[in-house]
Chains A and B, each alone.
Chain A
Amino acid sequence: MNFTNFGRYILLLKAAFKRPEKWKIYMKAIFQQMDFIGVGSLGLISIISTFIGAVMTLQIAFQLVSDFIPKTIIGSVNRDSTILELSPTISAIVLAGKIGSAISSEIGTMRVTEQIDALEIMGINAPGYLILPKILAGITMVPMLVIISMVLSITGGYLGGTLSGAVSPTEYIQGITTDFNPFTIAVALVKAFVFGFIITSVPAYEGFYVKGGALEVAQASTRAVVVSCISILACDYLVTGLML
């Protein structure tokens, strides 16, 4: 059964990546989706990232209670954890909930109200028109959101650590600037790219093949979020294993 679903998912993607009927119309749809996925999620990602950074600093400081460990390590650990794991993965899971459910419900509702049939009858490649702009917006905007998340999370760590007195500003800044490996950014961006693809394509698939009514659309949304989250974690492991 899962192989059948995977096969249908691949076939849907193949149809989605066919040459668009008119790029001008698709470009408009891509920018709309970029606005929805990127700008629309900025507030949520900002709040979550800032607080995660602050909490991470406090927890690292709490665990490193030894005179033999310099406090600058708090900044280093926070930086690497944020860049490599927390910003890409937590952002992706949050976005899977917010964007994934929206995509699945939107496409699912279009399916049950025959809007997708209407597109097909007009001679329009429905997977292309509905899914391609979402995927392209996802793989461009999610990495941007992850970069913003990294900056805010590290800033949040600074604020949380210094305001609570867990670490001094000088120690924290020294920590985040010492032994920085720029390759970690590349790993994070690859993850963000993959997650952006999953967050948009999996819910689109779930919505596209909905049969029934409101109940089935809701079930498809739930399934979309669950499958997206599991796929994100599996791909997180894969990318980390391959690149580090």
Chain B
Amino acid sequence: MIEIKDIHKSFGDNEVLRGISGKFQPGITNLIIGGSGSGKTTLLKCMIGLHHPEQGSVTYDGRDFTQLNTEERIEIRKEIGMLFQGSALFDSMTVEENIMFPLNMFTDQSRSEKLDRVNFCLDRVNLEGKNKLFPAELSGGMKKRVGIARAIAMNPKYLFCDEPNSGLDPKTSIVIDELIKEITEEYNTTTVVVTHDMNSVMGIGDYIMFLHQGKKFWEGSNKEIAKTDIPELNDFVFASRFMKAAKDKF
């Protein structure tokens, strides 16, 4: 479980996060949603240590990440898998080398063991046989799937996804969403997904935290979100005419 308490973060005079608290449970898909500039990516980066919050704590199963030294943080980071918005695959490496990279760095497995793990991960994201391709040769959806394969290569306890559907067509988005949900349930990972994709919200949002102007405005599940009457949340979730019509049917 990941617990955040009273997270504050500013960039100069701009206070982006204003005291956010919440709990993200393992085995379910936790979503952080909100409009552009609401602070969701900043919150994610504070949680994984890419930004340092001015106040508050981030606790990974009882270990306060904000109070740890560099070496202790590295140990927690080895338990983290992350899917970046732009996939962040290493350009100079093939798909196989990308996925094998954390295994090369942190394990003493033999080459054949690592290769087995790579093939397992690729199989898991339906990309078997694509080992020797370079990121430049992959489509957006394939890059995301390789990103997921790399993220799960080390059997992470915690999985973070930053806008996994951005730039993808609706069909591929659903594939990525389903994959994240399956992996979360299968390996009981604590998964936190930052998104503003409404299909994801309605499809896989077991727990949803809605941020508005740097504050936690609402939390609940995808079933509860359909029934809410909070104007700010309704404006965000049911912004389109289609979604408004869909809301009436929920």
Pair A121/B105 contact, Cβ less than 8 Å: no
Q: Nearest chain B CB to A106's CB is how many angstroms away? A: 9
**C-alpha gap A34/B173 in the complex (Å):** 42
* CB neighbors of A among B52-86 (8 A): 73-75, 77-78, 80, 82, 84-86
* Chain B positions near chain A (C-beta within 8 angstroms): 48-50, 73-75, 77-78, 80, 82, 84-86, 88-91, 101-102, 104-106, 154, 160
Additional A-B contacts beyond A21-B106, A114-B84, A122-B77 (14; CB < 8 A)? A109-B91, A113-B86, A114-B86, A117-B50, A117-B84, A117-B88, A118-B82, A120-B77, A121-B77, A121-B80, A121-B82, A122-B101, A122-B106, A123-B77
**C-alpha gap A121/B160 in the complex (Å):** 10
Most buried by A among B50, B73, B78, B105: B105
Q: Is A124 an interface residue (CB 8 A)?
A: yes
* CB neighbors of B among A51-69 (8 A): none
Residue of A nearest to B48 (CB): A121
Pair A115/B88 contact, Cβ less than 8 Å: yes
Pair A114/B85 contact, Cβ less than 8 Å: yes
Residue of A nearest to B147 (CB): A118
A-B contact list, 28 entries, CB within 8 Å: A21-B105, A22-B104, A25-B104, A25-B105, A109-B91, A113-B86, A113-B88, A114-B84, A115-B88, A115-B89, A117-B50, A117-B84, A117-B88, A118-B88, A118-B90, A120-B50, A121-B48, A121-B50, A121-B77, A121-B160, A122-B102, A122-B105, A122-B106, A123-B74, A123-B75, A123-B77, A123-B78, A123-B105
- Hey, what's the 0/1 contact readout for A39-78 against B, CB within 8 Å counting as 1? 0000000000000000000000000000000000000000
**C-alpha gap A114/B49 in the complex (Å):** 14
- Hey, what's the 0/1 contact readout for A93-130 against B, CB within 8 Å counting as 1? 00000000000000001100111011011111100000
Q: Nearest chain A CB to B104's CB is how many angstroms away? A: 6
**C-alpha gap A184/B88 in the complex (Å):** 48
Chain B residues with CB under 8 Å of A114's CB are 84-86, 88
**C-alpha gap A123/B86 in the complex (Å):** 19
Most buried by B among A25, A115, A122: A122
* CB neighbors of B among A1-41 (8 A): 21-22, 25
* CB neighbors of B among A125-157 (8 A): 125
Given contacts A115-B91, A121-B48, A123-B74, contact A22 B105 (CB under 8 A): yes
Q: Nearest chain B CB to A37's CB is how many angstroms away? A: 16
